[in-house]
Amino acid sequence: MRKPIIAGNWKLHKTLAESRQLAATLAKELSSVDHCEIIIAPVYTALSGVAEEITDTPIQLAAQNCYPAETGAFTGEVSPLLLKDAGCRFIICGHSERRQLLSESNQFINHKVAASVNAGLGAILCIGETLQERETDQMLEVLTTQTREGLAGITTEQMASIVIAYEPVWAIGTGVTASDQQAQEAHAFIRGLLQGLYNQDVANTTRILYGGSVKPNNVDGLMAQSDIDGALVGGASLKAEDFIRIVRFE
């Protein structure tokens, strides 16, 4: 009932030519995939070029960020409407690297989520606790606050455009993955939050992705968990062979 999503976050990697080449390889190898949705998120400057490579394939384009305004005096920023114009279908909002490096608040991230949805795009809202928060028993509180504040004002109907990515900060780019059980517990908790904030139907239908050192050798165990509906993949999405294997999870 929830179609899985495998999403690749290319972060600040690859030139336009390299991005096009990886996208072209994925387009060729994954042209007949139907068991899951596939999303790739290159850097801004490669979006239009990658969009050309994945035209008429099952691969969808995402941006790694946006600015929550339509137009105006916001030097250096890019709006959801312009990202849609470049071919995007989704926007990643609130990635932990932006929360940490750029001090993005839940309120600011919420504005990005709302702006993305209002532009007719899907929003992938990233949430997740730090190691210190986990070790001091603040994990559930952090996930609750990030979910509630990140989704403030998002209606039940708009939830159809929302994907949640649970990404424990301690597992991102570290090679340390949450165990299948740790990830399942967090996902079940988040699904419960959605039920409380919205209703059972929203809880049942919202896709919740796991992110944090997902690799070809651990994706199958994670995807076997009942509340894990896909993966947001960083490092392993940069190598065609690895990402293709992750898309072909068993």
Q: If we measure between CA atoms, which residue out of 97, 169, 88, 72 comes closest to residue 123?
A: 88
209 binds ligand PEP (CB under 6 A): no
Residue the block writes with tokens 């239908």: 205
Contact with ligand PEP (CB under 6 A) among 232, 242, 246, 247: 232
Q: If we measure between CA atoms, which residue out of 68, 65, 60, 83 comes closest to residue 11?
A: 65
Residue the block writes with tokens 């990233």: 126
CB-facing half-sphere around the CA of 55: CA atoms within 13 A:
7
CB 41 within 8 A of CB 64: yes
Per-residue x/- marks for ligand PEP, 112-151, CB under 6 A? ----------------------------------------
Stretch that binds ligand PEP, among 14-22, 53-61, 75-83, 232-240 (CB under 6 A): 232-240
46 binds ligand PEP (CB under 6 A): no
Nearer to ligand PEP, 87 or 235 (CB): 235
Q: If we measure between CA atoms, which residue out of 168, 169, 171, 160 comes closest to residue 185?
A: 168
- For residue 200, what is the enclosing H or E element? helix 200-205
CB of 144 to ligand PEP, least distance (A): 21
Nearer to ligand PEP, 2 or 239 (CB): 239
Query: Is 129 designated active site?
Result: no
Contact with ligand PEP (CB under 6 A) among 23, 114, 164, 172: 172
Contacts of 231 (CB under 8 A, 6+ apart): 5, 6, 7, 209, 210, 211, 214, 219, 222, 223, 246, 249
83 binds ligand PEP (CB under 6 A): no
Contact with ligand PEP (CB under 6 A) among 60, 147, 213, 218: 213
Q: Burial of 118 by CB count in 10 Å (0-12 exposed, 13-18 middle, 19+ buried)?
A: middle
Nearer to ligand PEP, 11 or 148 (CB): 11
Stretch that binds ligand PEP, among 138-146, 150-158, 219-227, 228-236 (CB under 6 A): 228-236
Query: Is 35 designated active site?
Result: no
- For residue 109, what is the enclosing H or E element? helix 106-118
Q: Which residue is nearest to ligand PEP (CB)?
A: 234
The footprint of ligand PEP (CB under 6 A) covers: 9, 11, 167, 172-173, 211-214, 232-236
As annotated, the active-site residues are 95, 167
